[in-house]
Structure 1
Amino acid sequence: MTLIQKIALGYFVVLMGAASLNYIPGLTDDEGLAFGIFALDIFDDALHVASALWALAAALTSPRASKIFLVIFGTLYLGDGVIGIFTGYGYLDLGIFTNGSDGFSFSLFRVLANLPHIALGGVALGAGLKLGRGL
């Protein structure tokens, strides 16, 4: 298994972990916020599981499939996090379409709520572009 495939496999593990956050006692507060920062619903869980299965399939298929996963996933998740900073809602869970915009905010809460998608997306996109050259 190549490095790029191992990275895609790592995304499978991380995304399955994200999908399980609501179901691990003690990780959500009384308001249903994971780590007291963001709420995850069934649509978020489904998105994370679908993304995880895509990552697993890519990792087990080939380095090229892993590159494609990392670049597309990275672009989508990074964009979702950036849009979340600007509007308060992302587009991957359709939140921006069902809630409108809360306007731009660079508050600590807004940054922390969107940081997982920005970090996961940025690392995936960078790895896919850098390690995927020539694939």
Structure 2
Amino acid sequence: MSVLRKICLGYVLVLLAAASLNYVPGLTDDQGLAFGIFALDIFDDALHVASALWALAAAVISQRAARAFLLIFGTLYLGDGLFGFFTGYGYLDLGIFTNASEGMSFTLFRVLANLPHLALGAFALWAGLRVERD
């Protein structure tokens, strides 16, 4: 199995773990914030599960499918994380449509809230562009 396909399998695990955060006792506080930083709702869970299934399909199908997943997923998630700095919400979970903008902020809280999508997106995009180029 190629490195890109293994990376996709890694994304399956990470995304399923993200989808499960609300359901593991002790990981959310009294306000429903995971790790006291961000709230996850049914839209977030659906997004993470759908993305995990997409990553699994890409890993199983082919090297080309794995690269396509990493490039598209990486672009979407990195953009979502960056967008979070401008509004406080992302577009992938429809948060920009259901919440009023909180304005641009680079506070530690906002950075930590957007870091998962920034990191997942940036790494996926890097891997899609640089790993195992034919």
Secondary structure of the residue aligned to 2:113 is helix
Q: What is the aligned-residue identity percentage?
A: 75
What is the count of residue pairs matched by the alignment?
134
Q: Using the alignment, how far apart are the partners of 2:132 and 2:102 within structure 1?
A: 37
Q: TM-score w.r.t. structure 2 length?
A: 0.97
Unaligned runs of 5+ in 2: none
2:53 is equivalent to residue 53 of structure 1: yes
Q: CA deviation at 1:98?
A: 1.8
2:28 is equivalent to residue 28 of structure 1: yes
Task: Indicate conservation of the 8 Å contact 1:64/1:132, yes or no.
Answer: no
Alignment of 1:1-135 (within 5 A): 1-131=1-131, 133-134=133-134
The one-letter code sitting in structure 2 at the alignment partner of 1:26 is G
Summarize the Cα distance change of 1:132–1:65 in structure 2 as closer, same or farther, 3 Å threshold: farther
Q: CA deviation at 1:99?
A: 1.3
Task: Indicate conservation of the 8 Å contact 1:88/1:110, yes or no.
Answer: yes
Q: Using the alignment, how far apart are the partners of 1:67 and 1:131 within structure 2?
A: 9
Q: Using the alignment, how far apart are the partners of 2:122 and 2:57 within structure 1?
A: 21
Q: Please provide the CA RMSD for this pair.
A: 0.8
Q: CA deviation at 1:132?
A: 5.2
Q: Using the alignment, how far apart are the partners of 2:101 and 2:33 within structure 1?
A: 20
Task: Indicate conservation of the 8 Å contact 2:3/2:132, yes or no.
Answer: no
What whole-Å deviation, never above 9, does each CA across 1:37-61 have from its counterpart, x for those lacking one? 0000011000000000000010011
Secondary structure of the residue aligned to 1:54 is helix
Q: TM-score w.r.t. structure 1 length?
A: 0.97
Q: Using the alignment, how far apart are the partners of 2:68 and 2:5 within structure 1?
A: 11
Q: Using the alignment, how far apart are the partners of 1:46 and 1:98 within structure 2?
A: 16
Q: CA deviation at 1:89?
A: 0.6
What whole-Å deviation, never above 9, does each CA across 1:97-126 have from its counterpart, x for those lacking one? 221311110000000000000000000000
Secondary structure of the residue aligned to 2:55 is helix
Runs ≥4 residues deviating over 6 A: none
Task: Indicate conservation of the 8 Å contact 1:19/1:49, yes or no.
Answer: yes
